[in-house]
């Protein structure tokens, strides 16, 4: 039996615990919802449970397609057992449809389908508010070795193709999402963190209804109702 030990780290949406196995961690999903780098912050009772369930399901799907992630198994409503990895301070975003920061930054209209999926890198830095960076920045700042950058980009595109297809069958449109990666002691690079409606944009394919954290960011309706709709359709 694995035992939960001391808290290792507490983030905005999750708490990370050490365990009796030094190679494994426990992720605890909290009910806190934040947006705009923590400027907007609220509790939504039950959000942590939904994100744990959705993330677990999506990690299981990725693993079944041969994509390596930190996911081992779901332990309870709010907790997930994962492999301990050394995280890269890079967020990898994949976009299929223009939305969010892309439409603010460049001449794309919200809802416009991109000709090919777009991969972007962001520097994971609260102080700098996660700025957009390119491969040269990643190399110069030593955020990840060259091979890892290529691997993250290829893997992110694979994840996109798997998730896009699965969601499409359920009448859901995968607009964009963010992944994080880490390195295991054996040097393999794996997907870490969470894959939940906190870190993705998902729209209803027919009605265009936004079902993800944009509901909270822009007051578009009950947040958890959107998350529940996603969970129901992927279960
Ligand atoms: P963006 O349009 O704000 O750049 O976000 C792109 C996607 O990445 C969107 O699905 C939300 C997700 N994301 C995070 O999960 N964390 C972040 O800090 C940011 C900026 C975006």
Is 178 close to ligand 1, i.e. is its CB under 6 Å away? Answer: yes
Pocket-testing residue among 55, 176, 211, ligand 1, by greatest number of atoms within 8 A of Cβ: 176
The ranges of the chain with pLDDT < 50 are none
pLDDT at residue 37, rounded to an integer: 87
How confident is the model at residue 234, as a pLDDT? 98
DSSP one-letter string for 105-146: HSS--TTPEEEEEEEEEEE--TTTT--EE-HHHHHHTTSS-H
Q: pLDDT digits over 33-58, tens only?
A: 999 988 999 999 999 999 999 999 99
Q: Are residues 115 and 61 in the same domain?
A: no
Is 189 in the same domain as 205?
yes
- HEC sequence for 136-181: HHHHHCCCCCHHHHHHHHHHHHHHHHHHHHHHHHCCEEEEEEEEEE
What Cα–Cα distance (Å) separates residue 40 from each residue in 1, 10, 71, 141?
39, 18, 29, 30
- What's the whole-model pTM score? 0.97
**38 and 122 share a domain?**
no
Q: Ligand 1 centroid to 92 CA: how many Å?
A: 9
pLDDT, tens digit, 9 for 90 and up, residues 166-189: 999 999 999 999 999 999 999 999
79, 147: one domain: no
Q: How far is the CA of 100 from the centre of ligand 1 (A)?
A: 8
35 and 128 share a domain? no
> Residue 141's domain is classified under what CATH number?
3.30.470.20
The reply to whether 116 and 46 lie within a common domain is no
Q: Which residue puts its alpha carbon closest to atom 11 of ligand 1?
A: 199
56 and 64 in contact (C-beta within 8 Å)? no
Give the residue from 27, 55, 83 where a domain finishes.
83
Three-class secondary structure of residue 199 per DSSP:
coil
Domain residue limits at 123: 86-222
CA 64 to chain centre: 18
Write the CA distances from 2 to 26, 114, 177, 197, integer angstroms.
10, 45, 32, 29
> What phi, psi does 84 have (nearest 5°)?
-80, 125
Number of domains in the chain: 2
CA 99 to centroid of ligand 1, rounded, Å: 10
Residues 165 and 93 in one domain: yes
In short, whether 51's Cβ falls inside 6 Å of ligand 1 is: no
pLDDT value at residue 58:
98
98 lies in the same domain as 208: yes
How far is C-alpha 177 from the geometric centre of its chain's CA atoms? Answer: 6
């Amino acid at each position: 039996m694995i035992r939960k030990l001391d808290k290792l780290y507490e983030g905005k949406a999750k708490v990370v615990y050490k365990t009796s196995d030094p190679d494994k961690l426990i992720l605890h999903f909290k009910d806190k919802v934040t947006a705009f780098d923590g400027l907007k912050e609220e509790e939504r009772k039950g959000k942590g449970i939904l994100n744990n369930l959705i993330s677990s399901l999506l990690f299981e799907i990725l693993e079944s397609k041969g994509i390596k992630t930190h996911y081992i198994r779901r332990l309870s409503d709010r907790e997930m057992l994962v492999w301990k990895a050394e995280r890269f301070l890079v967020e990898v975003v994949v976009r299929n449809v223009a939305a969010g920061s892309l439409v603010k930054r460049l001449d794309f209209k919200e809802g416009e389908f991109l000709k090919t999926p777009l991969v972007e890198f962001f520097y994971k830095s609260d102080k700098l508010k996660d700025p957009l960076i390119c491969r040269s920045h990643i190399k110069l700042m030593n955020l990840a070795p060259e091979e890892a950058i290529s691997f993250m980009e290829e893997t992110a595109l694979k994840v996109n193709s798997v998730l896009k297809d699965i969601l499409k069958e359920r009448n859901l449109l995968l607009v964009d999402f963010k992944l994080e990666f880490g390195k295991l002691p054996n040097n393999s690079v794996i997907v870490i963190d969470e894959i939940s409606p906190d870190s993705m944009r998902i729209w209803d394919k027919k009605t265009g209804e936004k079902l993800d954290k944009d509901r909270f960011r822009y007051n578009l309706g009950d947040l958890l109702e959107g998350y529940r709709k996603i969970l129901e359709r992927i279960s």
